[in-house]
Amino acid sequence: MTGKFLELKWKQFSRAPQFGAKLAVKVLIGFFITYFSLAAIFFSGISVFLLEKEFPDQSPLSIVNSYLLYYFIFAFIVRYFFQALPTNEIQQLLITPITKKYIILNTILKSTFSIYNSSPIFYFLPFAIVFIFSGGPGDEVEFSRRSILGIFSWWVCLQMITWMLNNLVFLVNKNSSILKTIIGVVFFLYAFQKFNYFDIFTFFGFGLDKIYSNPIYLFIVFFSLAASYFLLFKFLIKECYLDKGLSKGKEKIIGEKLTFLNRFGKLGSLIKNDIRLIIRNARAKQVVLMSFLFLFYGVIFFTPDLYKESGALLMFASLFITGGFMMTFGQYIPSWDSEYYPLLMVQNLSYKKYLESKLVLMIAATVIATILSLPYLYYGLKIYSMIIAGAFFNLGLGGYITIISGVLNKSPLKLNVKAKAFENTQAFSITQFLFVLPKMGLPVLIYWVGQFLFTEEIGILLVGLFGVLGITLHSLIISQIEKVFKKHKYKTLEAYQTNN
């Protein structure tokens, strides 16, 4: 039966529209996965020596165990927003002469061996192997010798916890009450730790230490994993009906007013339409969340002393802080409207108004991000001046580059489906990658030239001035983009109808 499911999956992939483009995407994604996997293996291995050097009186394993709960909490959050239950595939299989039991087992098996569950292989297995053969000190939890059975049990424990997270995310995605329960438990545990009643992080690390020193405790984790699979199977069997758990529920209509935008005429109506799209659809809300996370991008580069002397790298980071929404939302223009694009194109509106509505939305998001970036003043005026210069560039030339890259994107996008990292190729286009160069590379190049010929302050000023120039030439630039839009109108309509 597993072979039959694999055959059906291959036929679905090979017979899909734009098979060549999708295959190229898979190859490209495979390259990135291989690269980051090798990097993870390398850094996981050398981390043993780094920890032994930094903490000579403690075991590297014990130190890692004390922080692993943070990793699993972060992994759960990432999975919740990016990993979606493949209900569409289940719905397609329900009309075939395959029993529900096998359909559910195939879904669970497929999720078990997804890329999300490979982190123990790339992150923790190299650490475990190097830990065994590195020698090194003992520690306070009686690591008197390097136990191969103990470290293997430790690694298996992490893999089983990862699978339990996978099952939990499936349940949470289809049952909000479970999510509320988890949030409540986390809140109480945090309160207990805050008032020094109970430290869940220390307890979790101690439990992993015990599994290393006495692998018999691994059976507790094993039975917990088996229980999670049983609960997931029973839940999916119960909900596996086209008119029940897998169907789209009725949702309350929100964002129907927004009357303050009526004063802007047709432009306001288009902006109102995009705001409703963001409020009501899973994929759009996911993009907004990602753009918010870009606000914290600068912490990675501004905090370490290693990057403080690299002005070009700091300028690169500054662009992301205020341009997160522009880069995530803007690159999918006009794919956001692909489900009703033909209807939109027969309305009495100009292409220029359509493009300007998208631009206004990105400008508003950039201005909000700039205001929210005020805490970066902590790193000094030079850093914040880079952020302001990057904001002006995003308001000017960056917005136009983003729109023109979106116009050339002819892949549709399903609004109410969460993106699945490494699996979802919707709205992918090679033009997105090509336009990243001027969008991110041009301001860095302008800064570098100004710094090289004059001073660092001049380089920052030039980046901002180029953005101001783009704002000044708005009418000319948007007219040229409108011509490109008209040229590709019918090809875009054909592509959306074919792929939808």
H, E, C per residue of the chain: CHHHHHHHHHHHHHCCCCHHHHHHHHHHHHHHHHHHHHHHHHHHHHHHHHHHHHCCCCCHHHHHHHHHHHHHHHHHHHHHHHCCCCHHHHHHHHCCCCCHHHHHHHHHHHHHCCHHHHHHHHHHHHHHHHHHHCCCCCCCCCCCCCCHHHHHHHHHHHHHHHHHHHHHHHHHHHCHHHHHHHHHHHHHHHHHHHCCCCCHHHHHHHHHHHHHHCHHHHHHHHHHHHHHHHHHHHHHHHHCCCCCCCCCCCCCCCCCCCHHHHHHHHHHHHHHHHHHHHHHCHHHHHHHHHHHHHHHHHHHHHCCHHHCCCHHHHHHHHHHHHHHHHHHHHHHCCHHHHHHHHHHHCCCCCHHHHHHHHHHHHHHHHHHHHHHCHHHHHHCHHHHHHHHHHHHHHHHHHHHHHHHHHHCCCCCCCCCCCCCCCCCCCCCCHHHHHHHHHHHHHHHHHHHHHHHHCCHHHHHHHHHHHHHHHHHCHHHHHHHHHHHHHHCHHHHHHHHHHHC
Q: Is residue 442 domain-resident?
A: yes
233 and 270 share one domain: no
172-214 pLDDT, tens per residue? Answer: 877 777 777 877 887 787 777 777 777 788 888 889 888 988 8
With respect to residue 407, please indicate whether it lies within any of the assigned structural domains: yes
Structural domain contains residue 259? no
- CA dihedral of residues 349, 351, 356, 362 (deg, nearest 10): 110
Closest of 63, 217, 72 to residue 131, by C-alpha: 63
Mark whether 94 and 229 lie in a shared domain: yes
Residue 211 sits in the same domain as residue 271: no
Provide the whole-model pTM. 0.57
Q: Is residue 364 part of a domain?
A: yes
Residue at a domain's end among 221, 239, 257: 239
* pLDDT at 144 (0 to 100): 41
Q: Mean per-residue pLDDT for 218-235?
A: 90
Q: How many structural domains comprise the chain?
A: 2
CA distance 313 to 153: 42
The answer to whether residues 64 and 194 belong to one domain is yes
Contact present, 390 and 323 (Cβ < 8 Å):
yes
Residue numbers of the domain that contains 98: 17-239
> Is the CB of residue 288 less than 8 Å from the CB of residue 377?
no
Q: Is the pLDDT of residue 223 over 90?
A: yes
211 & 305 share domain: no
Distances (CA, A) of 399 to 72, 227, 337: 37, 51, 18
Provide the pLDDT confidence category of residue 458 given band limits of 50, 70 and 90.
Answer: very high
- To the nearest 10°, the Cα dihedral for 213, 216, 218, 222? 180
Q: Are residues 156 and 286 in the same domain?
A: no
For residues 193 and 287, state if they share a domain: no
pLDDT at 227: 92
Whether 247 maps to a domain, the answer reads no
In a domain, 246, yes or no: no
* In-domain check, residue 244: no
Looking at the fold, whether 291 and 401 belong to one and the same domain comes out as: yes
**Residue 257, token pair as written in the block:** 């007013």
Q: Is the same domain home to 474 and 335?
A: yes
Is residue 256 assigned to a domain?
no
Which amino acid, residue 57? D
Contact 213, 151 (CB under 8 A): no
Mutual angle of helices 282-293 and 311-329, in 10-degree steps: 170
Is the pLDDT confidence value at 140 over 60? no
- Structure tokens given for 429: 């286009």
Say yes or no: 342 and 457 in one domain: yes
Query: pLDDT, tens digit, for every residue of 80-112?
Result: 766 666 655 666 666 677 777 777 777 788 778
Domain boundary residue, one of 224, 239, 254: 239
Q: Using CA atoms, how far apart are residues 401 and 330, in angstroms rounded to an integer?
A: 9
Supply the pLDDT for residue 388: 93
Query: Are 231 and 282 found together in one domain?
Result: no
**Cα 456 to Cα 429: distance, rounded to the nearest angstrom:** 36
Nearest-angstrom CA–CA distance, 364 and 267 = 14
How far out from the chain centre does Cα 368 lie? Answer: 21
**280 shares its domain with 235:** no
pLDDT tens digits for range 347-363: 777 778 888 888 888 88
- Window from 65-69, 72-76, 203-207, 404-408 with minimum mean pLDDT: 404-408
